[in-house]
Amino acid sequence: MSCQWSVIRATRMRPSVSCVAAMASSLAVCRLHMRGRGSLVKCLRRVDTFLHRHTGSNAVAAPGETLRKDESGITCIKKCIHSIVEYFLLAVEKDRRKSLYAVQTERQEQARRSVLISCPARTNEKKFLKYLSRHGDIKNYFFYESYGVYAVVEFANQESVASLLEGTDVPSISHESMVPFKSRLLSLKNLGSVDSPKQQLGKQCQSQTTPPINELIQRLSKEESIDQQVTSLTEAYQLTEENSRLRFLVCSLLSDIAAAYFPESIIKPFGSSVNGFGKLGCDLDMFLDLDGITGKRANMPQSDLSLEYQMKRANSERAVTQSILSVIGECVDQFGPGCVGVQKILNARCPLVRFAHQPSGFQCDLTANNRVAMKSTELLYLYGELDPRVRCLVFTVRCWARAHGITSSIPGAWITNFSLTIMVLFFLQKRSPPIIPTLNHLRDLAGPADQSVIEGNDCTFVSDFSKIQLQNNTETLEQLLREFFDFYATFAFSKMSINIRKGKEQNKPEVAMLHIQNPFETSLNVSKNVNASQLERFVALCQESSWLFQQSETNTPRGGKGGNTSTPWGLAAILLPSQVSGVKSRKRRKREPASERIKSLLESLKSNSQQKQKKT
């Protein structure tokens, strides 16, 4: 996927007829260089941002809005172009809204036609592709780096994969023994001559990680509005097309292992890998779906007789899940190429097998029979698709929380990303008018095909986007971010529970520091683990960020245009190390003024960039 921004970025001029012409040509350039829907959306957003910056106009004329007589011609043209961009954005966004089920089916099918190949860095790309094409057409491919260079290659047909595997050798190592388990994880051996550095693969590698926080702060500081900072953060953090493909491919490779016992099973990703809120580098939550194993008879003539499988019985469904995961976990450990550090955590509330998949760099959690979590994944996906502000705000709050150590990758008494996401959704339900509907409303809109009861829990909600009418809330990302901090800085955590089913806080049903009702298993609290000090830190940081946002020195973009280091401001300023860690309330806080903190970060950014320059 590529989209060239050179024309857009290079053209900096005051609003004029030539500017309008440049905008129009930018649109044309976008169209010419674009491949894929994701790029189209990005292109249009950039053009919109461009218009915003260069015309100084916030308002986007609604399609069909009549233009006032006293407006100058240039304003009319600007509004027209805004309208066209907006129209295309809406059309593309609407068209993009596939159900999670449809997205998953497409990706799973793509993954089955794909192989993962470890390549020596000196591999010549052309030669490599020509070699693979002997087995059939290649539909898509990309390279990435993780303990060496890897290629994900998607063939147009599954037969090509079979042919490729048939022509693949078993390694011949004399002093070691191999587990003879064949998978679609392969190694390329290059017996030919070494290629010139120009032809080597390292440069084409896709980044699979987010930028370090200091780099992100620098990048955000150069943006011209807080809205743009939020969008820029989301772009830097969200999963890329390639990373999503890789996640589905890893699930598909593991499905092949599970298929040795359960040929009709499938391993599916859930959680942030697919709910739209995943950040590059997030863990890969997977579940072994055994629902394909049904007892239904094929269409046979009616008879009084029938046959059924004899199956081993166990004491409970939990016991079945534990034994299946134990066996699959053992296979992953003993036979799974690239799977290391396998831990079976079978006595957890939700039994799981945890391991690292080295070739992809993913930390994996494999569960089974976890259909409620799949439903909450679908729900989060739906909320994220309803309004682009939802994802932007969730990414920003998650990044802010991580920057201040409110969340952690190590399990503990911290607030989790899942809890934070629900807190953002709840806040958006509480806006006036609400930005997203309550879960009860989504349940009321559900059709017969949406009915779902899992283990006695009502998991019904509408899946057809067109049935959901949103209210007209026009708040900007900047306003929402400020309000988010204000909202939770003063929320009555001691008495109230957060409830996205009702979209209203409820009296806490049990003693817990932070109570967030699980959307489907309504008797459970998703943040049961959070202790008093973690909640206090969260509240103190909300207070601090809210306060910082009220300071003019934080609110205004300062300096740094044209690539120089800029003073952190807006969102960048609230990502700076906080002074309130461990402090219980704002009143008792002794803090440096924000300007001092900003100054000291600026110094560290400068010295970093000077060190870099010295090295190069």
Binding site for ligand CTP (CB under 6 A): 270-272, 275, 278, 282-283, 285, 373, 376-377, 416-418, 518, 526
In the complex, least distance from residue 377 CB atom to ligand CTP, rounded to whole angstroms: 5
164 close to 115: Cβ distance less than 8 angstroms? yes
498 close to 516: Cβ distance less than 8 angstroms? yes
In the complex, least distance from residue 605 CB atom to Mg ion, rounded to whole angstroms: 31
In the complex, least distance from residue 251 CB atom to ligand CTP, rounded to whole angstroms: 14
For residue 276, state whether it binds Mg ion (rule: CB under 5 A).
no
In the complex, least distance from residue 398 CB atom to ligand CTP, rounded to whole angstroms: 8
DSSP helix, strand, coil percent of the chain (3-state; round to 5): 45, 10, 40
In the complex, least distance from residue 210 CB atom to Mg ion, rounded to whole angstroms: 15
What is the C-alpha to C-alpha distance for residues 234 and 395, in angstroms, rounded to an integer? 6
Other CB atoms within a 10 A radius of the CB of residue 334 amount to: 11
Of the two residues 83 and 363, which places its CB atom closer to Mg ion in the complex?
Answer: 363
* Cα dihedral sign, 355-282-41-387: positive
Of the two residues 286 and 339, which places its CB atom closer to ligand CTP in the complex?
Answer: 286
In the complex, least distance from residue 285 CB atom to Mg ion, rounded to whole angstroms: 4
416 close to 409: Cβ distance less than 8 angstroms? no
> b/e for 38-49, b at 16 or more Cβ within 10 A?
ebbbbbbebbbb
Of the two residues 230 and 399, which places its CB atom closer to ligand CTP in the complex?
Answer: 399
From the list Mg ion, ligand CTP, none, which binds 373 (C-beta under 5 to 8 Å, kind-based)? ligand CTP
- Tell me if residue 88 falls in helix, strand or coil: helix
Q: Return all residues near 606 (Cβ < 8 A) that are at least 6 apart.
A: 565
Of the two residues 365 and 486, which places its CB atom closer to ligand CTP in the complex?
Answer: 365
For residue 229, state whether it binds Mg ion (rule: CB under 5 A).
no
Residue nearest to Mg ion (CB): 271
From the list Mg ion, ligand CTP, none, which binds 55 (C-beta under 5 to 8 Å, kind-based)? none
From the list Mg ion, ligand CTP, none, which binds 417 (C-beta under 5 to 8 Å, kind-based)? ligand CTP
In the complex, least distance from residue 313 CB atom to ligand CTP, rounded to whole angstroms: 29
488 close to 539: Cβ distance less than 8 angstroms? yes
For residue 48, state whether it binds Mg ion (rule: CB under 5 A).
no
| Distance between first and last Cα of the chain | 30
Which of residues 136, 269, 271, 276 is near Mg ion by CB under 5 A? 271
Of the two residues 373 and 403, which places its CB atom closer to ligand CTP in the complex?
Answer: 373
* CA 373 to each of CA 65, 272, 325, 369: distance values in angstroms, whole numbers, following the listed order: 44, 11, 17, 9
Which of residues 285, 378, 486, 521 is near Mg ion by CB under 5 A? 285
Residue ranges in 34-170 assigned as alpha helix (H)? 37-55, 73-96, 100-112, 125-133, 158-166
Of the two residues 242 and 378, which places its CB atom closer to ligand CTP in the complex?
Answer: 378
What is the C-alpha to C-alpha distance for residues 350 and 200, in angstroms, rounded to an integer? 45
Q: Which helix (H) or strand (E) holds 116?
A: strand 114-119
For residue 272, state whether it binds Mg ion (rule: CB under 5 A).
yes
For residue 283, state whether it binds Mg ion (rule: CB under 5 A).
yes
In the complex, least distance from residue 216 CB atom to ligand CTP, rounded to whole angstroms: 17
From the list Mg ion, ligand CTP, none, which binds 526 (C-beta under 5 to 8 Å, kind-based)? ligand CTP
**Residues at the site binding Mg ion, with contacts judged by CB under 5 A:** 271-272, 283, 285
